[in-house]
Amino acid sequence: MKKLNIAYTCNVRKPGMEDERYGEFESPATIEAVIAALELTGANVGLIDVGSDIYHQLERRKNHIDLVFNNAEGLDEKELREAIVPFFCEHLHIPYTGSSPKTFINKMDKATAKRIVAYDGVPTARFQLMVPGGRLEDLSFPLMVKPYSEGTSIGINQKSKVHDLLELNDAVETIYMQFNQPALVEEFLPGNEYTIGIIGSYVLPILEIDFAKIPGQPLVRDPHVKDIENPYISHLAWTEKTKSFAKLAIKAHEALEVRDYNRMDFRERDGQLYFLEANVIPGVHPTEADLTNMCRHANIAHDGMIALIVNAAVQRLSSLYPAQFTGKTELLEELANLAINKATKAGAITYRDRTYTLLGEQAGEDKTL
């Protein structure tokens, strides 16, 4: 069997990268695990550290790349940064995993993402954008203040929940000075947080973050909380309630036109789930990432998770790029099927003629949808 040539694009975290901006860059542990998982599929794997020369790196190698496994955050391109690798791949006609540049740009503008999902009936907290000196519109305290165009948890801390105009103005100015962008100001949602993952047509077990269980009882999921929260996160079984959560996630996923894999954050208020944001290249750390955690609870190992992501992309791309994939993906398909066959399943949800299988445990004996 001929081998698939995969280029793994990411931002490599190097010594001295302590700023929170680099928290999304890939650690040596992640890079090593991802490369090992890709090689298990029978692929030749080359690592590309995404820097200012990324276009030229891709251009030089384009005739030797069958697929880019993209997990790059970009650099300093603001709303465009996560779209840089997909954009250059499109320009150079290189197949790649994950979403299109359009989806990345829409997702990075959190206000736009909220408007898009709201159009398809996904609830989201009322919000506005603010710059220093701006006027608060018809929103009630307490409010949540965060950068409108940054990755998950960047620019968020326990002071992001504000209770009056003085705290609001201070928070908006801090974000503007630190990130040179407006702040997204939205109604604070006091309930638990839920993160919901999708790979291909599979919905992974939902993770519940109950802040009351975490030491210090934090109010928001900032980088420090993420470092200590894993022992306190719950995996939810499938009930009518959690299936309704999954249906909202599927609606948001499709509204944003996400491809191959995704992780979305929601928060509850008065029994209603509200969309926070989508993470369309979620972390893939071998033990600590939310997506890995979800898969593990569905009896899918990290290498199986990577195989499922790549296989979802290959299924989507094979008809467009037959020369790159013909005769090279049998082992990949075998590993992806093996991962799914081992996974626990709990029924399915159909939305707009597409069926999503729920992975994980069914609560009790309830088999209805």
* Same structural domain, 135 and 280: no
In a domain, 84, yes or no: yes
Maximum Cα–Cα distance for the chain, whole Å? 65
Least confident span in 24-28, 97-101, 103-107, 143-147: 24-28
pLDDT digits (tens, 9 = 90+) for 24-83: 778 999 999 999 999 999 999 999 999 989 999 999 999 999 999 999 987 765 667 889
Asked if 276 and 355 sit in the same domain, the reply is yes
Residue range 240-259, pLDDT digits in tens: 999 999 999 999 999 999 99
- Of all residues in the chain, what percent are helix, strand and coil, respectively (each to 5)? 40, 20, 35
Q: Which domain holds residue 16?
A: 5-96
Q: With the C-alpha atoms ordered 117, 121, 127, 130, is the resulting torsion angle positive or negative?
A: positive
250 with 347, same domain: the answer is yes
Could you give the number of structural domains in the chain? 3
φ, ψ of residue 56 to 5 degrees: the values are -70, -35
Residues 296-326: tens digit of each pLDDT:
999 999 999 999 999 999 999 999 999 999 9
Radius of gyration of the chain (CA): 20
DSSP 6: E
Residue 345 has pLDDT above 90, yes or no: yes
Residue 207 pLDDT grade (very low, low, confident, very high; cuts 50, 70, 90): very high
Looking at the fold, whether 208 and 176 belong to one and the same domain comes out as: no
Measured CA to CA, the distance from residue 306 to residue 211 in angstroms comes to 30
At residue 10, what are phi and psi to the nearest 5 degrees? -160, 170
Model confidence at 292: pLDDT above 80 = yes
Angle formed at CA 249 by CA 195 and CA 329, multiple of 5 degrees: 90
Q: What is the pLDDT of residue 369?
A: 35
Specify if 365 maps to a domain: no
Residue 282 resides in a domain: yes
Domain end position, chosen among 75, 96, 117: 96
pTM: 0.94
DSSP sequence for 132-189: TT----S--SSEEEEESS-STTTT--GGGEE-SHHHHHHHHHHHHHHHSSPEEEEEPP
Report the C-alpha gap between 294 and 15 in whole angstroms. 29
CATH number at 140 reads 3.30.1490
CB 68 within 8 A of CB 97: yes
Question: Are 201 and 296 found together in one domain?
Answer: yes
* CATH code for position 244: 3.30.470.20
